[in-house]
Amino acid sequence: MYPFFLQGESGQRFCIFHAPESRPLGAVLYFHPFAEEMNKSRRMAALQARSLSKAGYAVLQIDLSGCGDSDGDFADATWEAWLNDGMLGYRWLRQQTDAPLYLWGLRSGCLLAASFSERLQEKANFVFWQPVVGGKQHWQQFMRLKLAGEIATGGGKEITETMKRSLESGQNVEIAGYTVSPQLVDGLRKAELMPKGPVGKVIWLEVSSREEASLAPASLPFIEQWKAAGAAVDALVVPGPAFWQTAEIEDAPTLIDATQASIGLAA
């Protein structure tokens, strides 16, 4: 494991590179989720990255602008800046290896990975963990954190309208301790989990605490669109906790095992 900083246009980006012991079977670039989900997921992302490295894959984790240990404030982050950070990490990773590329995303990181692939000149494989299929719905869910404390007093609708007016006038809004810019909201709301460039394998994994769970209904039409674009899609549900949102930090070892098995078949 090799921690370091990459110099971007607006400061340094903290990275962790997990190098395999031999020639890499694949090059994996990780896109982390939005806001507090990133913090909740750090352990699982680290466990998976180490596991992939032991299996022969080169894995790069990068903290996007305003997130984690990277420079910048979350309030200044934009969707475009995060895509630029992805290119920064991609170029560094490609200097290390020319092995087949895997873009690995968790939650809204899947949206970033798909959007980012449009900028590439090569075919990408994807690993989607509990993918967010629509940024608009994801933003609405995030806004509910702000509304939760206001509903009891009947101020929920007023708060919603106030936030909308603030964003429309170019002002930042604060939700659950995160100050979010209109530019970031606009990019997130427009994002959908659609194929944007040449695509190879898609490993689509969802987690459920219920027995005999099936894929989320909202996922099915998007999976079909990836198949229609020529992707070989391996989609399944594995048992485990929703570690990206649980009160305590939790592990989902079956998700790691399923990822290892699927990415091994795709190699």
DSSP string over 100-120: PEEEEEETHHHHHHHHHHTT-
Share of the chain above pLDDT 90, in %: 82
CA 235 to CA 229: how far, in whole Å? Answer: 16
Query: Residue 80, by phi and psi: left (phi above 0), alpha (psi -120 to 50) or beta?
Result: alpha
Pair of tokens at residue 59: 């894995």
pLDDT digits (tens, 9 = 90+) for 103-139: 999 999 999 999 999 999 999 999 999 999 999 999 9
pLDDT digits (tens, 9 = 90+) for 17-36: 999 999 999 999 999 999 99
CA 23 to CA 1: how far, in whole Å? Answer: 16
Does 210 or 240 have the greater pLDDT score? 240
Please state the rounded mean pLDDT for residues 137-165. 76
Dihedral, CA of residue 150, residue 154, residue 157 and residue 160, to nearest 10: -10
pLDDT digits (tens, 9 = 90+) for 158-216: 777 888 899 999 999 998 889 999 999 999 999 999 999 889 999 999 999 887 789 99
Q: Record the pTM.
A: 0.94
- List, by residue range, all CATH 3.40.50.1820 domains of the chain: 2-133+198-266
Average pLDDT, the chain: 93
160 contact partners, CB below 8 Å, separation of at least 6: 143, 147
| Residue 156 near residue 52 (C-beta atoms within 8 A) | no
CATH topology (fold) of 2-133+198-266:
Rossmann fold (3.40.50)
Describe the crossing of helices 36-54 and 253-266 by its angle, rounded to 10 degrees: 50
